[in-house]
Amino acid sequence: EMKDLVIYAYLKKHYNNVTKDSFPSFQTLSEESGISKPTVIKSVNRLQASGYINISKIKKVNHYTFSDVNKFEIYSFDFLEDQTLTTADKAYIICMQPHMFKDSNLGIGKVIYSELDIANKLGIDLRTLRKYENHLQQGDKPVMTLVPTKKKDPMTGLVIQERIFDFDAYNNLLALKFMQIDEEIK
């Protein structure tokens, strides 16, 4: 679920380079993410059951290790602290990361899928998708902009809109830095 990825991001945010694990309490995860403690616990259990994290108890404290760091896209954890973004906004952004074509020259990410395809990929309905996207398009510095393309969705016949994400607007400059390093290596 989308909230699981937000919890995963907060677990990664607390990663300790020395111990190679993370050990925030459920209460800390709940307070930081804005997700209720029971939902945090369910998310942690789903992440463990899916093999994304391993949990060990040390002196009654959960310690989380990460099974495969390549399962999630690289992004800056700075945007998790952005108070203008809701938990749903953060979940949407995290879920869209792997589907983005990233343009390091322009500092943007682009996604070209139909609304229906995106809703299906995220496991949400169209109404919820539109609500998330409307919120991300508001404000002085919108995180996302919708731009019509010449393509049409074969199922609905509607024009497919390109979703353009401004990395600077939500502090995702880390992804661009990794892209620049990759380009320099090539």
* pLDDT tens track for 74-100: 666 777 888 888 888 889 988 898 888
Residue 42's pLDDT is 97
pTM for the full predicted model: 0.81
Tens of pLDDT, residue by residue over 94-136, are: 889 888 888 777 888 899 999 999 999 999 999 999 999 999 9
SS (H, E, C) the chain: CHHHHHHHHHHHHCCECCCCEECCCHHHHHHHHCCCHHHHHHHHHHHHHCCCEEEEEECCEEEEEECCHHHCCCCCHHHHHCCCCCHHHHHHHHHHHHHCEEECCCCEEEEECCHHHHHHHHCCCHHHHHHHHHHHCCCCCCCEEEEEEEEECCCCCCEEEEEEEEHHHHCCHHHHHHHHHHHHHC
